[in-house]
């Protein structure tokens, strides 16, 4: 049994990942600004914008569940406005949650993974987004951080490989979550998604969680530095 830590655990994708890793038999710490109702996990209310809070969450996870062996960097904020109207403070906030927190969490997790008494090794999964391929309008800050998540994945996979720490990325498509409320016409948005996908249905959060389960499990023991697209065939890279 391994200790897993999931950020952004209270959202639809995060909850599905927490449920799946718990079902896989892992001890799970679930981090979010409002980490409630996450059955079977250790809820830790954590503002990822605060490095001290992140460090405290990792310390508490180790004290209560054991050293982290799996990290899923899933948290994200998703403000939408035209690029020319984005204030620098908003960009900094998006970067703090979607990228700086990924960096810090990966660093803290890798430190615990490389000092485990049972030996080296672990798995990190960063969550990117289909938007990094299309350059979507009104989401420049979000898109930039998601592209960075994929690039960070490759850099960390290279550097942490000698420690037997595998680092991979999942890039979800347009899953039906609360994030879609930024689109003013839900029906038109739904039609747009289906027109672009090869599979003519909306994805389920559990389907993304299944890929995370694979990447953090023994069947992916020789997989690192990869970005797996989970988008129903929208993007075929």
Give pLDDT, residue 202: 86
DSSP the chain: --EEEEESTTSHHHHHHHHHHHHTT-EEEEEETT--S-TTSEEEE--TT-HHHHHHHHHHHHHHH-SEEEEEE---------GGG--HHHHHHHHIIIIIHHHHHHHHHHHHHTT-TT-S-EEEEEE--THHHHT-TT-HHHHHHHHHHHHHHHHHHHHHGGGTEEEEEEEE----SGGGGGSS-HHHHHHHHHHH-SSSS---HHHHHHHHHHHHSGGGTT--S-EEEESTTS---
pLDDT in tens, the chain (237 residues): 899 999 999 999 999 999 999 999 999 999 999 988 888 899 999 999 999 999 999 999 999 999 999 999 999 999 999 999 999 999 999 999 999 999 999 999 999 998 664 556 999 999 999 999 988 899 999 999 999 999 999 999 999 999 999 999 999 988 876 666 666 667 777 787 888 888 898 889 999 999 999 999 999 999 999 999 999 888 886
Q: Each residue of 121-130: pLDDT tens digit?
A: 999 999 999 9
Q: Is 189 a catalytic residue?
A: no
Say what the pLDDT of residue 117 is.
47
Query: Count of domains in the chain?
Result: 1
Within a domain: residue 82? Answer: yes
212 in a domain, yes or no? Answer: yes
pLDDT tens sequence across 43-101: 999 999 999 999 999 999 999 999 999 999 999 999 999 999 999 999 999 999 999 99
**Domain, as residue range, for 168:** 3-230
Any domain includes 236:
no
Domain membership of residue 217 (yes or no) is yes
In this structure, what CATH number is given to the domain that contains residue 203?
3.40.50.720
Question: Is residue 237, in this structure, part of any structural domain at all?
Answer: no
Active-site entry in 78, 91, 102, 142: 142
């Amino acid at each position: 049994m391994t200790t897993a830590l999931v950020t952004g655990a209270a959202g639809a994708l995060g909850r599905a990942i927490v449920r799946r890793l718990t079902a896989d038999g892992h001890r799970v710490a679930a981090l979010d600004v409002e980490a409630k109702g996450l059955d079977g996990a250790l809820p830790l209310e954590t503002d990822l914008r605060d490095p001290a809070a992140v460090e405290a969450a990792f310390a508490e996870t180790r004290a209560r569940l054991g050293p982290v062996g799996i990290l899923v960097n899933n948290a994200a904020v998703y403000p939408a406005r035209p690029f020319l109207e984005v204030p620098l403070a908003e960009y900094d906030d998006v970067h703090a949650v979607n990228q700086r927190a990924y960096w810090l969490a990966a660093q803290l997790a890798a430190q615990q993974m490389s000092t485990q008494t049972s030996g080296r090794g672990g798995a990190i999964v960063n969550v990117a987004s289909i938007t990094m391929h299309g350059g979507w309008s009104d989401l420049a800050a979000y898109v930039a951080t998601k592209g960075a998540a994929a690039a960070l994945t490759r850099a960390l996979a290279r550097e942490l490989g000698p420690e037997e720490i595998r680092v991979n990325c999942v890039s979800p498509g347009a899953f039906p979550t609360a994030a879609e409320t930024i689109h003013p016409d839900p029906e038109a948005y739904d039609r747009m998604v289906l027109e672009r996908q090869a599979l003519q249905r909306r994805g389920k959060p559990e389907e993304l969680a299944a890929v995370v389960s694979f990447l953090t499990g023994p069947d992916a023991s020789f997989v690192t530095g990869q970005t797996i697209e989970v988008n129903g065939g929208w993007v075929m890279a």
